Structure 1
Amino acid sequence: MIRRYFFGLLFLLLISCGKTEKPIVAFYYWKTIFKLSPAEKEVLHDNEVSKLYIRYFDIGLHPVTQEPFPVSPIHFKESTNNFTIVPVVFIQNKVMLLSHLDIDDLAQKTIRLVEEINAKNKISCQEIQIDCDWTLKSKDNYLKFIEQFKKLSHKKLSATIRLHQVKYFKTTKIPNVDSGVLMYYNMGTIAPDSLNSIYSKKISEKYLKSLKKYPLHLDFALPIYSWAVHIRNQKVIGLRSKLNVSELKKDANFKSISPIFFKVIKSNYKNGVFYEESDLLKTEAISSEDLKEMAEQLDENVVQAPKEIIFYDLDEFNIKNYEKNIFKQVISCF
Structure 2
Amino acid sequence: MKKNILVAFVFLLLVSCSKTKEPIVSFYYWKTIFKLSHTEKEVLKDNNVTKLYIRYFDIGLHPKTEEPIPISPIHFQENMKDFEIVPVIFIKNKVMLQANLDIKDLAQKTIRLVEEINTKNKIVSTEIQIDCDWTLASKGNYLKFIEQFKKLSHKKLSATIRLHQVKYFKKTKIPNVDSGVLMYYNMGSIAPDSLNSIYSQKIAYNYLKSLKKYPLHLDVALPIYSWGIHIRNQKVIALRSKLNVEELKKDKNFKQISSVFFKAGQSNYKNGVFYEENDLLKIEAISSEDLKEMAQDLDENLAQTPNEIIFYDLDEFNIKYHEKNIFKQVVSYF
Per-residue Cα deviation, 1:11-53 (whole angstroms, up to 9, x for no partner): 7415641453100000000000000000000000000000000
In 2, Cα distance between equivalents of 1:227 and 1:217: 30
CA contact (8 A) 1:242 1:317 kept: yes
Give the match's secondary structure for 1:205: helix
Per-residue Cα deviation, 1:271-329 (whole angstroms, up to 9, x for no partner): 22211111001100010000000001000001210000000000000000001000000
In 2, Cα distance between equivalents of 1:177 and 1:18: 28
In 2, Cα distance between equivalents of 1:8 and 1:213: 29
In 2, Cα distance between equivalents of 1:271 and 1:99: 41
Structure 2 counterparts to residues 56-95 of structure 1, below 5 A: 56-95=56-95
In 1, Cα distance between equivalents of 2:169 and 2:248: 41
In structure 1, the partner of 2:173 is 173
Q: Does residue 13 in structure 1 map to residue 12 in structure 2?
A: yes
In structure 1, the partner of 2:293 is 293
Structure 2 counterparts to residues 184-195 of structure 1, below 5 A: 184-195=184-195
Segment of structure 1 superposing worse, 7-16 or 185-194 = 7-16
Give the match's secondary structure for 1:133: coil
Per-residue Cα deviation, 1:194-239 (whole angstroms, up to 9, x for no partner): 1100000000000001000000000000000000111101111111
In structure 2, the partner of 1:154 is 154
Give the match's secondary structure for 1:327: helix
In structure 1, the partner of 2:220 is 220
1:212–1:67 CA distance, 2 compared to 1 (3 A)? same
TM-superposed deviation, 1:252? 2.3
CA contact (8 A) 2:35 2:76 kept: yes
In 2, Cα distance between equivalents of 1:270 and 1:47: 35
Give the match's secondary structure for 1:283: strand
TM-superposed deviation, 1:65? 1.0
Q: Does residue 306 in structure 1 map to residue 277 in structure 2?
A: no
In 2, Cα distance between equivalents of 1:284 and 1:113: 35
Give the match's secondary structure for 2:31: coil
Give the match's secondary structure for 1:152: helix
1:247–1:9 CA distance, 2 compared to 1 (3 A)? farther
Give the match's secondary structure for 2:210: helix
CA contact (8 A) 1:261 1:281 kept: yes
In structure 2, the partner of 1:118 is 118
Per-residue Cα deviation, 1:126-177 (whole angstroms, up to 9, x for no partner): 0000000000000000000000000000000000000000000000000000
Segment of structure 1 superposing worse, 6-15 or 235-244 = 6-15
In 1, Cα distance between equivalents of 2:14 and 2:157: 34
Give the match's secondary structure for 2:209: helix
In structure 1, the partner of 2:282 is 282
Give the match's secondary structure for 1:206: helix
In 1, Cα distance between equivalents of 2:314 and 2:4: 50
Q: Does residue 231 in structure 1 map to residue 220 in structure 2?
A: no
CA contact (8 A) 1:229 1:282 kept: yes
Structure 2 counterparts to residues 17-28 of structure 1, below 5 A: 17-18=16-17, 20-28=20-28
CA contact (8 A) 2:59 2:92 kept: yes
* Letter in structure 2 aligned against 1:272: G
Give the match's secondary structure for 1:322: coil
TM-superposed deviation, 1:74? 0.5
TM-superposed deviation, 1:248? 1.6
In 2, Cα distance between equivalents of 1:42 and 1:115: 29
In structure 2, the partner of 1:41 is 41
In structure 1, the partner of 2:326 is 326
In 2, Cα distance between equivalents of 1:15 and 1:178: 25
Give 5+ residue unaligned stretches, structure 1: none
Q: Does residue 256 in structure 1 map to residue 276 in structure 2?
A: no
In 2, Cα distance between equivalents of 1:156 and 1:11: 34
CA contact (8 A) 1:58 1:71 kept: yes
Q: What is the root-mean-square deviation in Å for CA atoms of aligned residues?
A: 1.4
TM-superposed deviation, 1:245? 2.5
* Letter in structure 1 aligned against 2:45: H
In 2, Cα distance between equivalents of 1:291 and 1:44: 18
- Runs of 4+, deviation exceeding 4 Å: none
Give the match's secondary structure for 1:49: coil
1:11–1:153 CA distance, 2 compared to 1 (3 A)? closer
CA contact (8 A) 1:244 1:283 kept: no
In 1, Cα distance between equivalents of 2:162 and 2:56: 21
* Letter in structure 2 aligned against 1:17: S
TM-superposed deviation, 1:259? 1.1
Give the match's secondary structure for 1:176: coil
Aligned residue pairs, count: 333
CA contact (8 A) 1:244 1:285 kept: no
CA contact (8 A) 1:27 1:51 kept: yes
Give the match's secondary structure for 1:207: helix
CA contact (8 A) 1:244 1:284 kept: no
Aligned-pair identity in percent equals 77
CA contact (8 A) 1:245 1:260 kept: no
Segment of structure 1 superposing worse, 251-260 or 312-321 = 251-260
TM-superposed deviation, 1:251? 2.4
